[in-house]
Structure formats: structure tokens, C-alpha cells
Structure 1
């Protein structure tokens, strides 16, 4: 049985819930105009925001990052010791692309020293390459930055330059690439200038040039142009916001995306950034070849003068001595001299390299690449490996310095390994120099023997051999160096970049504001806002507006409905309009009361409500009137002793009434007043007493009701509101 009751309760709850939802739906449908208004307002707000919002365009490019055997492979070994592996390699490359240094190089490469704008409909629009003029800065002069300078084009030859006064203006030194701490103040200017004419004032020096591609038929007058000289640090920060993502986890192809208000500039920047990244990594790959060429060029420059002098002496000797025949002994000494000079040249080149390498590893920065020993003909396996390892780690350090701090664990490990390699190279150099010294000493010993034999020859032959020895020595070194330079040049020119651009940025797509999405959101908000408002108002509504509202808060049966009447109509509607709908409503209530009370019983009815002006008196007098029309003797009593008004509706006096009866001043017959309608009497409230509650609670009131039951078939009490006073 309990289970059945629970099911019934659940059904009632579900039914009530469905009724509530249905009621809520009807409320929303009845307030449809709110939805229309809110949707229109939301769409207007959307279009306003879209109109005045700064658009954002996204440019994308794709780069293939290859795993090479140099930097990435070496870094992989290092990262694996920390558990990073190839993921860390990849992050280093991404970090390098996103670095501030790389961004600034791209900004400089694009010559983004000046921004160009055009005013249109209270908005500033960056026109970038669409500006009819270019601003050429004097890069050797300080420039006032971040201050708008207006340009009014008068013709293709002249324009008006103007700008406002400014205090504490900042200046940028493009030569030193730095923003100055000192600030300047200047007054506004307005000056007519010719295109191509230099302007210098207030910490600025520049000139405007009309673009070559400007169409002579185009009219650029009456258009508000202005430009701003950029603080490179600020403009770099604006561009320092690239987003990089892998296409998928299995590949090393990345997407580089950049958002910016100007469509063309976004495309140019992302393409320039990719180009610079490819160029830098290619430069790093050719680091050793480039360093070798620089080193060899320096050595060639040193030996060139000696070779030229030796060649001049040789030519002068040949001019003076047309033909000299070297005999057998002289020929032998000549060949031996060539052999020894070749050895001496080789040892000299090695010694020069050892000195260079020792100086290189003792320097603090070691920015220039190191030359490999094998390039200089040094075949020592250990030294070649050590120098190669040093070059690799220096490249890694340079790459990591862009993306990490000196406190980074991997960065510190690379520094430690570099220091260890430098120590090993220093020890190896000392050992090799000892070997080279021994070889040089042996060559010197043999040359001393050669010189003793040479002194026995005639002076002409001896001079020829000495000149040839000197020439041979310098020529051997010169030829050797040129050969090594050619090899390094071939290696550099035949190298290919480790990474390549798969797809350049072509068109920057608009990503903000998203018109379709924002319009949908605007419509959704236009629907949601009034729906939420109506829902909250519906949930918080404590007004009684329907039968269901009464049934929710009370178990008392409902005996009828009374519609509202216009304010200007008679309140005694039962007598004024006996055939009206409202009169029929009172007849229905009369019938229901009779059904509830039963036949043959006196009807004692109290009419009250929670608040004033709810219609208590209106209900009381019309209910009494409709009962009297059925032939029942009826009396209505005005129990609102604080605010008497019932007598007004019947045009009766209020000098005697309930209050005078309860205090014993008047008898019952004296306070009962007969109305103009049959079977309907009234006891007015009477004069306002000082103690209404005590009078109503008195025994006289109980006696009054008892006596009236004997005289009348129906007694109607018109009472005050129950929520404000206790009389009711």
C-alpha cells in the first residue's frame, strides 16, 4: 500500500513538474516581444563591436625540421642522459624560432622601422605597403619614437607635415639599437615640404619619398595619413607571439602561425621569420667551413707579401743572369733544398695552426668557428676528434643560449664539457708542438749541412739556389693554403640546409572577429537573456495569478472566480448589472457556499485578505447582495474599525455602527441600517475607536453574532487585512 502511495506521490510530482514547464513555456510565449527586442539589441551590439574591433589575421607557414648528424644528433646524446631525447631537440628548435632575437632580426629585415596609418570613420587603419609614400630615416641620427606625425598630401610633389607638442618624448638610437633614457620636450610643427626633402627637428631626421608605383591619376589629397617611428623593442614585442604546433606526433613538420591586425604584414613577417631561421641554421652548419676560409685568408694575406718579394728577387736575378747551368752537385743541392723547404713549410703551417688554436680556446667568447686540424694537413686523430667535439658543443651552446638561461641544467653541462675539451686540447697542443719542434730541429740540422755544402759552390749558383729556396718555401705555403681554401669553399657551397620551408604563408585568414560565430552567439544571447529573466521572475513570482497558484499553497476548496472590473464602474455590480459575467460569478459562489454549508443553516461568512486594497469590501457587499436576491435575509458588518468605508457604497451614515454598539453607546437596533435593497441590511463600522482589537475581542461582539444568527439567514463580515493587524 505504501508503495502505491509513493508511486502516486511521484506521479503527482512529475505531473506538477510538467505543468510547471508547460506554464513556464506559456509565460515565455506570452512575453515573445522580450525575445524580439533582445535579439535585435544583441545583433546591433554585435555589429557595433565587429565594426570598431581591430581585426586579427592569421598567417601560417610549414617547415620541415630534419634530424642531422651534427647539432641535433649531439644534442640528442646530451638530452638522453637527462631523459629528454628527441623531444628536447625539437623543443630547442622551436624555442629558437620563437626567440626574441629571431623576432627582432625578422623585424629589421622587413624594415619595420615605421608604421603607416590612414584615418577612416573614427578608426585608424594600418596601410603598410598601401601607403602612397615611404619614410626614409637617417639611421645615424636619434629618432623620436611612438609619436604620430600627420601627412597631408597636396600634390605628387608637395605635402604638409604636422605633429602635436609632446613632453617626455622618447628617442631611439638605431645605430646602437637601444632606447635612450633621456627624454625631450618639443612643440608642435606644421610645415610644407617637398617629397625627397630632408626634415630635421625635435630629435628626428627623415624624408618622405613618393612610391614609384603610385598612379599619377590617383587622388591622395583630402585623406588623413600619419606615420609613427617605431621603438624597435616595442614593435618586436608586438611580433613576438608566434604559435608553433606539430602536424602530427610521428613527423618533424611544424606549423608556424602568427596573428596580426594587418593581413599583408602578417604574411611577410611569417615568411621572413622562416627564411631567417633556415639561413641561421645553415650558417651554423657551415660554421667550420666559414671559419676555415677566414683563417686561411688571414694566413694567405700574411704570406702573400713574402711570396711577392721572393718572386721579384727571382725575376731580377734571371734578368741579370740569362742562363745558369747547375752542375751535378748543384742540381743535387737544389733538389735537396726544395725537399727541405717543403718540409719546413709544412711544419711552419702546423705551428701557425697550433698557435691559432691555443689562442682560440683561451679566448672568452669563442664566437668565431674553430678550424679543423685536418684542413691544415694535421692528421692527428685525437686532436681532430677533440676539435670536432668542441665545435659541436659550441654550436649547441650558441643555439641553446637563445632559448634557455645559464642556470639550465643542460646548458651548464655543455659548459662543463666545453671546459673539459679545452683542457684536453691544450694538453694535446703542447704534445704536438713538442713533436713539431723536434721535426723542425731535424730539418734545421739538415739545412745547416746543406748550407755548408752550398758555400762550396760558385757565388752565382749559390745565390740562385738561395733565391729558389726562399721562393719555394713561400710558394709551397701559399699553394697549400689556397688548396685548403678551395676545399673549404667547395665544402661550404656544396652543403644543403638541414631544414626547408614546405609551404610559405600566402594569405592571412581573418580569425577575429569571427562574424558567423559571433552572430550566432549574439542570437543565442538574445534568446538566453530574456529566457533567463523570465525564468527567474517566474521562480520568484509570489503573486496569485491562477487557480493552480492557490492550490499550491492552500488545501481549502475554491468556490469561485471574480473577474476584475473597470475603476469607473459601480462597485455594487450585482444590482448595477444583474446580467453581467461578474454577477454570474457571484451567483456561482452563492451556490457553492450553500452546497458547502448545507440547507437550513445560517451562513456566517468572513471575508479577508493579506493586504489592503485586495477587494475585501467589494467581495463582501456583492456577495451579500447576491445572497439577498435569493430571498435570504442578509446583513453585512463593517469590521474594519480603523478604516471605515463600507457605508459609502450604500450612501449611509457612519455616526453609529459596530464601534458604538461594542462600547454600549447604541443598541443593536440603533446600529442596523436598512439599505434600499430588499433583504439587505448593514452595520457600518462606526466612528474610529482607540482600541479596535480589544472591542472585537470583547464578549459584546460574541453576543452580537449570536443575536444576528437569530435574525438573519446570512451574515457577512468585511474585515481588515490579516497580515498587518490582528483585528481579523
Structure 2
């Protein structure tokens, strides 16, 4: 009942009591929320209802998945030598991250979207949503993408009859797509169609748009929607929505997934994306063969003319000189020269390839590398370096499409290209020198063999010379044709190293909305929102609500709490003695025997910070509770500015304390009986012009002393100490002083007024009372105020039983 401020600070605290206080706080907090249980229940119901409607009318989202197996390339011959020589990244192993980057690249998405022709999105109207149409379209919109087009906004199409329709703008947000600058669109404000009624098959054309709507299976009255979307925007959209990740850290299997509202569309897109991915890989593999074929075709175009010319000369010489075969000696010399010439031709072709490769490296070109093995160069190290450089350059093109030059992956790949080029240049320079030496040796051997021809007849010598040129050109031509055939066979035999494990499949159940989770979230939000609102409201509340909080702010004990008087009767102690309010006043009377023991006469003062806090109500009922126990009690109305006691007792206020202080009227003549036994009242009297000066007269002190001798209990009903000054002078006449606060009415800052009275004003025997405590907020627990108890309505009890709601009775049982 008493405040902790009056306890001995040196006394050890009881852990059980501390635990009990925490329990009381939690119960008070729970009661504070439970008084709004109807609103919380309504909010939770609304939260669940909103979640149900969201589940019912939101568009289901499905997850489409597929998988790709990424095969690792076998290391090329000689790669271990270069890796050990300090050239990083010249191996043949595929990088999973690179393959993920390829699958999520803008270029691949753009190719896939273009193949599927997804530039027109169709929708139908349903309640609260517009699901997208993909197959079995009722109309078909054809767009001329070679001209400027207005894209982005939503058109509404209503079919009027079999040949006409009405076209309007449903949603704005249009922008102009220019095919000459496809990656930058300009916004357009207030886009309007030339008219609203059109015919099917008619071109709808304007300065910045041109499209045609064709009838397929729509019926009169059908309402459809469509949107034009340019390919770059679609590619960016699908690239961002596609998720690619390895199935696990050690796996070379990539999982592709896409969340979409249209399952068939998602499956078609992922399947097309994987198809374009494998085609792209196949094109990369065919690049070397195509470059080789082009190189050989260039050589063939020059040698074919020489072969035709030498063949004609040979035929003409044989016809004119009637010589068709060489002699035995001439055949030997010819065969020897033929072998040397063939070897020299092959060497010259290799030298030409090396020189072309050197020029390629010096000019920093990219792409179109011819494989050395196709030309006949059998150096394994050179073949490996050319193959590696080609792969690294292709990788650089892929990375540059998706990343900037400052990206670590791009910079690392550039370093690998530079290292490979340096190694290749050294190898090519060495090969050129060796080839030139071999060619010089072959020329010496040919000159030596040609010397043996001089011993032959002139006709035979000329025949050998002509036949030599023909044979040389023929051998080179046949050799190039053979290499071209090999390159074409290689191209035809190329297959992507990666493969599709699973085609795109959609789950049977949607992944969104998550119905159970949404219902739970709706219920939780419906609970949290009102709880949060109540918490914020209480946090911003400047009125006194919690007795515990009041007790902690005061420098004096909180001696008691008076419950809310639900009746209009101002004196429940006398008129309703079994009420819970009466019991709280009895409890206060019992406590005052401890506050001022061994006193036969008692003077009690009641004041407050402002008017309306219930000090007069408390004064009257404290006086009444003493009168009930047989004490002779008088209630003094000292609030000369705003008297209220006369109205509560239905008494005229024509004379009272102000009359006694301002005239010769004796105070006994001004005392009036209240109509209740042992209970008199001295009203405040007419409102004087100088109430403060009247109460400060010596005459007032004499009157108070006489009254104390005549009565057992004297109750002072004083004006609010926070508003007037004379109350501070009245504390000297009382034995016990009470400062009345009112729950949900008194300001929290008013506690400082009471603290200043004690600390700076030197007022002693000061205590606090909290009036008008709301039972429904549960603040009565542990503060000497409860709900009352009794046996039954038709038997006896201590005071009147209060019927509580079910949730309050349940908490009390706990």
C-alpha cells in the first residue's frame, strides 16, 4: 500500500517481492491491451480477410526450371608447359562462372526473345486482375518494328462486331522506340490515338507508330488488352528475371529457373534460351573451321589460274613436238624435282601462314584465327597456343558484353590474352626462321637437280620444265582441296561440349501467393498494427495512467487509490456502503491510523494541482467514512474561488467561511448539518473579492483551533495548490496532507508540483492519492484496490460484487 520511497534503503530486498512486482507490471500491461480486445479482434479479422482476398485474386506465379551440364575441355598438348612457365589461365578448363555469365548475358536473352517474337503482350480482363494470354490468341497484333513505335503503355480493345473494334488507352507510360537507336527511348506525354473505332486488318498508323490488329477468334463484346514492348526492354527484363546457379559447389550442372505467371511462356523462353546457348557454343567452335575455309579459298583462287595456264601449255607443247613421255633418265630427274618442288610448296604455304599469323598478332586483331593443323603445321605447341588464344578472345567478347573494362574478370582475361600472344609471337618468330632456313635448303637442292637436266635433249628439257610447273600447281591445288575438305568435315562434325539435362518444366503448384503464409502474415499484422497504435498512443500520452509510474515519479508515498465512481451519487460512502469505491475509502481510513497514530483529533487536508482532479469528492467521502465509525466530523470548504460542496449536499451557500472571515458572524452559526449523523459542513460561502487575504488573517487560525476542539476529525477541502497561493499557508493547520491526482486527467508533469512542495516548500506529512482509477485497465492490482469479493448475490459479503468480462475473470483466477 505504501510507496517504496518510504522503505528503508538498507533493508535487503525480497526476491519474491521483486518477482511479484514484475508479475504485476506484466498483468497491468496486459490489461491495458485487453481493454481494446474488440478492436484487436476486428483488426486481426480484417488482416486475415485482406490476405484471403489477396490469395484469391492475385495472379499465381509458377517456377519454371531446367538444367544444363557444363563439360570441361581437355587440356591441349603443351598447356602444362606454359602453366609452369608462368602463363596463368592458358588451360582448357571451363569456368562455371563464365558459363553462368553467358546464360545471363543480354545478347543471349535478346536472341531468344527475337526468336520467340514476344514483342506484343496480350491480357484478358478478370475481377481485380489481368492475366496474360500466350497461346490461342483471340487477336493478333502485327507491328512494323523497322519504324518508330510507341511502346510501354497498355491498350484496351473492345470487339464491336466481326469486322470492327474500339481501341482506347488503358494505362499511360508510353515511350518512343527508335530502331536506329534501339537502346535509348524517349518519353512521350499525353499520347492519343487518331480515333477510337478501327477495322480488323486496318493499319493503325501515326507519326510515331504503325501496327495492325487482325481477327482470329474474338467475339463481339470481348474486352482485351495488349502492350507493345521493344526487344531490348524485353531482353533486359528476362535477363534480370532468369536465375542461374550450380546445383552445388562441386557440381558442373547449372540450374536455370524463371518465375512467371504464364507457365508455357516460361518453358518456351528457357528452352529457346538453352537452344541459343548451344548454338552460340557451336558457332564459336565453327569459327576456326570457317576461317580455315576462307583462307584456303583465297589460296585456291590464285593457284587455279596458274594450274589452268600450265595445263594448257603442257598440252600445246606435247601436240606441237609430238612428245608425250620422258626418257628413263628424264623420268628420274623429273621425279626428284617433283618431290623437291612439292616439299617447297608445302614449306612456302607454311611460311605464308606464319607470316599471316605474325601480322595478325602485330595488328592486335581479334577473331578469324586459322588453326595451324588445318594448314599442315604439326607443331603441337603452336596448335595449343592458337587454340587457347581463340578461346580467350571469344571469352573476352562475352565478358565485354556484360561487364566494363575495369571488372576484375575482364582485366584478368586481358592479362591471359597478352601472355598467350607473347608466347605465340616467340613461337611464330622461331618458326618463321626455321621455315626460311628449310626453304633455302630446298632451293639449293632444286638448283642441283636442275643442273642434271642440261644433259637431256632440248625438247625433253623443255617438256620437263613445263610439266614441272603443271605438277607443282596441281599438287598445291590438290593439297588445298584436301585441307578444305578436312576443314568442312571438321565443321560438320562439331558438336557443343555442353548439353541439356532437363528441358524446362513448370511446377504444378504456384510458388506465389503463399496462401498459408499470407494468412498468417495478415493475422500477425492485424495483431501488431493495433498493438503498435496503442503502444504509440500510450507513449505519447501525457496524462497519468499507471500508478506504478506515478509512484516512481513522486518523492512522497502513494498512500492509496480511489476507484471510479460509476454512479452519479457524489457520496457513495453514505449512500452505497457496499460499493467498491466505499471500500477504497475504508482502506484509506485504515492507513491514516498508521500515518498519525495516537491522536484523538485529526486534521486532514486535501488539495491537487488543478481543478477537476476530484479533491472535493475525496474530501467529502473521507469525511463520510469517519462519520460512519462514530467520529464527529466537519468538512471545511476552503476553496473560496470555486466552491462545490454546497451543490453536492443540496445546501444554499449564502453563508460560510468567507462570511465568518469578513464579518462578525460566528463560525458555529455558519455550520450546517449534512443530514447524516456525526457529519457537519462549513461551506465556503459567497465568493469574496480577496480570498487569499481572508485565509491569511489571524482570525482564520483562531476559527480553525476552535473547530479542532469541537470536532474529532476536521477535513480541509482546499483550492488547487498549483493554481492559487493561499493553499501553501493552510498546510500548517493540518496533521496529514493529501495531494490528489486523477487517472487519465492529471498531467504527468504535475508530479513536480508535489515534489517541489516537499523538497523546496518544506511541507511534511504529505502523501499522494490517485483518484478515479479505471478498473477495466487493471491498475488496481497490488495497490490496495480490487474488484471486491463476496459469496453470492443472495447471501452476505463484504462489499458489492462487480461482474467482470470473461477475460478479466480468467486473468484473476491466474
TM-score above 0.5: yes
Q: Which residue of 2 aligns with 1:272?
A: 272
Structure 1 SS opposite 2:701:
helix
Q: Does 1:110 align with 2:116?
A: yes
Q: Which residue of 1 aligns with 2:246?
A: 246
SS where residue 254 of structure 1 aligns? Answer: strand
> Is residue 48 of structure 2 the alignment partner of residue 39 of structure 1?
no
Question: Which of the numbers 13, 16, 36 marks the counterpart of 2:18?
Answer: 13
Alpha-carbon spacing, 1:63–1:469, altered in 2? closer, same or farther (3 Å): same
Matches within 5 A, 1:675-686: 679-686=678-685
Q: How many angstroms does 1:397 deviate by?
A: 3.8
Aligned to 2:178, what secondary structure does the other structure show? Answer: strand
Within 2, Cα distance between the matches of 1:221 and 1:310? 81
Shift of residue 348 of structure 1?
Answer: 5.1
2:207 to 202, 207, 212: 202
Looking at structure 2, the residues matched to 580 and 657 of structure 1 have their Cα atoms a distance apart, in angstroms, of: 32
Cα-to-partner distance string for 1:241-265 (whole Å, 9 max, x where unaligned):
5433333232233333344554443
1:387-443 C-alpha deviation (Å, 9 max, x unpaired):
455445434544544455444442342343254246425524642553365266447
Aligned residue number for residue 170 of structure 1: 176
Gaps of 5+ in 1: none
Separation in 1, partners of 2:435, 2:253: 48
1:97-139 deviations in Å (ceiling 9; x for gaps): 3333333333333333333344444644433445334444445
Measure the CA separation in 1 of the matches of 2:724 and 2:187.
80
Measured after TM superposition, the shift of residue 685 of structure 1 is: 0.7
Aligned twin of 1:360: 360
Tell whether 2:704 aligns with 1:705. yes
Matched, 1:424 2:430: no
2:17 counterpart SS class? helix
Alignment of 1:445-484 (within 5 A): 445=447, 456-457=458-459, 472-484=471-483
Kindly state the Cα deviation for residue 60 of structure 1 after the two structures are TM-superposed. Answer: 3.1
Displacement after TM superposition at 1:640 (Å) = 0.9
* Aligned equivalent of 2:661: 662
1:717 alignment partner, SS class = strand
Query: What SS is found at the alignment partner of 2:121?
Result: strand
What is the Cα deviation at residue 368 of structure 1? 1.3
| 1:600–1:51 Cα change, 3 Å | closer
- CA 1:39/1:311 → structure 2, altered by over 3 Å: closer, same or farther? farther
Corresponding residue number in structure 1 for 2:759: none
Offset at 1:15?
A: 0.9
- Alpha carbons 2:73, 2:94 under 8 Å: kept: no
Q: 1:329 to 1:491 in 2, by over 3 A?
A: same
Partner residue, 1:413? 415
What SS does the aligned partner of 2:226 have?
Answer: strand
Instruction: Give the match for residue 643 of structure 1.
Output: 642
Alignment of 1:21-420 (within 5 A): 21-47=26-52, 57-70=62-75, 77=83, 89-121=95-127, 123-129=129-135, 131-138=137-144, 140-153=146-159, 170-173=176-179, 178-179=183-184, 188-190=193-195, 192-195=198-201, 201-208=206-213, 219=219, 221-230=221-230, 232-233=232-233, 235-237=235-237, 239-260=239-260, 262-304=262-304, 328=328, 339=339, 342-343=342-343, 345-347=345-347, 349-372=349-372, 374-379=373-378, 383-384=382-383, 387-388=386-387, 390-402=389-401, 405-407=404-406, 408=408, 409-420=411-422
Deviations 1:11-36 (A, max 9, x none): 21111101222333344444321221
Q: Structure 1 residue 239: deviation in Å?
A: 2.5
Tell me the SS of whatever aligns to 1:606.
Answer: strand
Q: Which residue is equivalent to 1:507?
A: 506
Equivalence for 1:719:
718
**Alpha-carbon distance between aligned partners in 1 of 2:277 and 2:472, rounded to the nearest angstrom:** 45
- Give distance in 2, aligned partners of 1:178 and 1:320: 72
Q: 1:619 to 1:504 in 2, by over 3 A?
A: same
Q: CA deviation at 1:147?
A: 4.7
Q: Quote the offset at 1:658 in angstroms.
A: 0.9
- CA, structure 1 residues 74+432, in 2 after alignment: closer, same or farther (shift >3 Å)? closer
> Shift of the alpha carbon at 1:40?
1.9
Report the alpha carbon displacement of residue 498 of structure 1 after superposing the two structures with TM: 3.0
SS at match of 1:457: helix
SS of residue paired to 2:436 = helix
Q: CA deviation at 1:507?
A: 0.9
Q: How far apart are residue 493 of structure 1 and its match? A: 4.2
Once the two structures are TM-superposed, the CA of residue 522 in structure 1 deviates from its matched residue by 1.8
Q: Does the 8 A contact of 1:660 with 1:666 survive in 2?
A: yes
Q: Kindly tell me: are residues 543 and 682 of structure 1, through their superposed partners in 2, closer, same or farther at Cα, counting changes over 3 Å?
A: same
- Would the aligned equivalents of 1:164 and 1:189 in 2 still touch at CA under 8 Å? no
Do the aligned residues in 2 keep the contact of 1:611 with 1:723 (CA within 8 Å)? yes
Contact in 2 for aligned 1:152/1:161 (Cα 8 Å): yes
Deviation per CA, 1:593-623: give whole Å up to 9, x if none: 8966789923434344454334443444455
SS at match of 2:371: coil
CA distance in 2, matches of 1:591, 1:364: 105
1:506 shift after superposition = 0.9
SS in 1 for 2:605: strand
Provide closer, same or farther for how the CA distance between residues 561 and 268 of structure 1 changes in structure 2, counting only shifts above 3 A. Answer: same
**Alpha-carbon distance change, 167 to 58 in structure 1, aligned in 2, over 3 angstroms:** closer
2:769 paired residue number: none
SS at match of 1:506: strand
Cα distance in structure 2, aligned partners of 1:184 and 1:481: 64
Residues 153/502 of structure 1: CA separation in 2 closer, same or farther (3 Å cut): same
- SS of aligned partner of 1:116: strand
Structure 2 residue matching 1:68: 3-state secondary structure: coil
The alignment status of 1:438 with 2:415, answered yes or no, reads no
Return the alpha-carbon distance in structure 2 between the equivalents of residues 83 and 337 of structure 1.
47
- Pick closer, same or farther for the CA change 1:590–1:164 going to 2, 3 Å: closer
The residue that corresponds to 1:525 in the other structure is: 525
Aligned residues: 711
C-alpha distance in structure 2 between counterparts of 1:11 and 1:165, whole Å: 68
Q: Report the CA distance between 1:295 and its aligned residue.
A: 2.5
Equivalent in the alignment of 1:564:
565
The answer (yes or no) to whether the contact 2:565–2:581 under 8 Å persists in 1 is no
The SS at the match of 2:14 is: helix
Alignment of 1:497 with 2:473, yes or no, is: no
131-140 or 48-57, which deviates more = 48-57
Cα separation, 2, equivalents of 1:702 and 1:536: 50
Instruction: Indicate the SS of the match to 2:526.
Output: helix
Describe the SS at the equivalent of 2:254: strand
Residues 1:512 and 1:591: Cα distance change in structure 2 (over 3 Å): closer
- Once structures 1 and 2 are overlaid, which stretch shifts more, 448-457 or 29-38? 448-457
Distance in 1, matches of 2:241 and 2:640, equals 81
SS of 2:458 mapped into structure 1: coil
Q: Quick one: structure 1 residues 179 and 432, their matched pair in 2 at CA, closer, same or farther if it must change by over 3 Å?
A: farther
Structure 2 segments unaligned to the other structure (5+ residues): 1-8, 728-814
Give the Cα separation in 1 of the matches to 2:502 and 2:660: 105
SS in 2 for 1:503: strand
The DSSP-based 3-state class of the residue aligned with 1:695 is helix
CA distance in 2, matches of 1:15, 1:608: 32
